[in-house]
Amino acid sequence: MPNLKTSLQPGRRARGRPRDWHDKTDQNTIKSLDRAITVLQRLGEMGGATLSVLASDLGQSSATVYRVLITLEGRGLVEFDEVAQVWNIGAGAYLIGAHFLRRTGLVDRARPILRHLMQATGETANLGIEKGGEVLFVSQVETHSNIRAFFPPGSVSEMHASGIGKALLAFMPQDRRETVLSGCGLTRYTDQTLTDRAALDRDLASCRARGYAVDADEKTQGMRCIAAPVYDVFDEAVAGLSVSGPTSRISDNDIPRLAEHVTAAARRLSAAVGAG
């Protein structure tokens, strides 16, 4: 197949792109749409809010935010709880997001593997990808135990304080790793969070040597996570699988046993998405 750049005649452009598609200035921004997306994103981050609280948080008038919410409600992107007088993200937003998750087939192929991993370990199994320099959790199968880790699909976490994040960092190309780490501040969440770059680099080297990463109370005190990378057909780490649970069930002695299950599950998913 001819290369697109060389096959296009001078003056022509790729289909689906306007002539000025490189122009990101205000003239090509639909401000009302941008405002609506801001409202939708912030509502999701807040986990639901009343009109007055949401408007105050955004620094906008209640009338303006209300018009946005009513418009989004008409498309099913938000929902209104009449009893609590609270606006929430609607099913329509989930359905749109689901198209992104289905784009590679990764989530569909991971579901049975996540279920098996949870059953084999007794701990919550998670799937995450790197998105914008953060871990985006895209699927989870929860343990039946009363005390459990919870990373619902759509949750994000800084990579240096996440088992999946460190697994992805450890096995991504060095230039990409430098780009990701240069854009984050290594936020401290607990006394165990790796906020020193040299210490993080040593930990990532250990991850590469043993084939998996460990989050030991680094994001949440009392919770641990063991994660391994998932590779695609190009032998690139495109996702991470993990199990997570309380330190009361995941001691230092438990980590090697759980890591065997996690790395085996990651290999199965890698094979399912085309890795050699």
Question: What CATH number does residue 253 fall under?
Answer: 3.30.450.40
What is the C-alpha separation between 191 and 196, in angstroms, rounded?
12
Residue 43 maps to which CATH number? Answer: 1.10.10.10
Claim to verify: residue 115 and residue 245 sit in the same structural domain? yes
Same domain, 56 and 136: no
Same domain, yes or no: 85 and 139: no
Q: Are strands 78-81 and 86-89 parallel, antiparallel or unpaired?
A: antiparallel
Judge whether 9 lies within some domain.
no
Check whether residue 147 and residue 168 sit in a common domain: yes
Residue 184 within any structural domain of the chain: yes
Does residue 132 form part of some domain? yes
Sign of CA dihedral 188, 193, 199, 205: negative
Please count the structural domains in the chain.
2
Domain carrying residue 74? 14-91
Task: State whether 119 and 256 are in the same domain.
Answer: yes
Structural element, H or E, at residue 206: helix 197-210
> pLDDT by residue (tens digit) across 117-142?
999 999 999 999 998 889 999 999 99
In angstroms, the Cα distances linking 7 to 11, 152, 163 are: 12, 45, 45
Within a domain: residue 26?
yes
Residue 104 has a pLDDT of 56
Is the same domain home to 63 and 82? yes
Give pTM, 2 decimals. Answer: 0.67
- How is residue 49 annotated by DSSP? B
- pLDDT attached to residue 101: 58
Q: Are 132 and 194 part of one and the same domain? A: yes
Give the residue from 99, 61, 95, 102 showing the smallest Cα distance to 77.
95
The pLDDT value recorded for residue 17 is: 52
Residues 84 and 110 in one domain: no
**Which pLDDT does position 15 carry in this prediction?**
53
Same domain, 216 and 165: yes
In a domain, 164, yes or no: yes
Residues 253 and 220 in one domain: yes
Query: Which domain-ending residue is among 45, 70, 91?
Result: 91
Q: Is residue 250 part of a domain?
A: yes
> In terms of domains, do 160 and 196 share one?
yes
Predicted pLDDT of residue 163: 96
Residue 166's alpha-carbon distances to 19, 207, 215, in angstroms, are 41, 8, 8
Q: What's the rounded Cα separation, in Å, for the pair 276 and 273?
A: 9
Residue 65: inside a domain: yes
* Contact by Cβ (8 Å): 168, 228: no
pLDDT for the residue numbered 132: 86
CA distance 259 to 263: 6
First to last CA, the chain: 25
| Inter-residue long-range contacts of 45-52, CB under 8 Å, 24+ positions, other chains counted | 47/88, 48/81, 48/86, 48/87, 48/88, 48/89, 49/86, 49/87, 50/85, 50/86, 50/87, 51/85, 51/87
Q: Which residue among 91, 115, 139 closes a domain?
A: 91
- Residue 193 and residue 244 share a domain: yes
Domain assignment present for residue 3? The answer is no
- Looking at residue 10, its pLDDT comes to 44
Q: Of 29, 56, 91, which closes a domain?
A: 91
Regions in the chain scoring below 50 on pLDDT: 1-13, 21
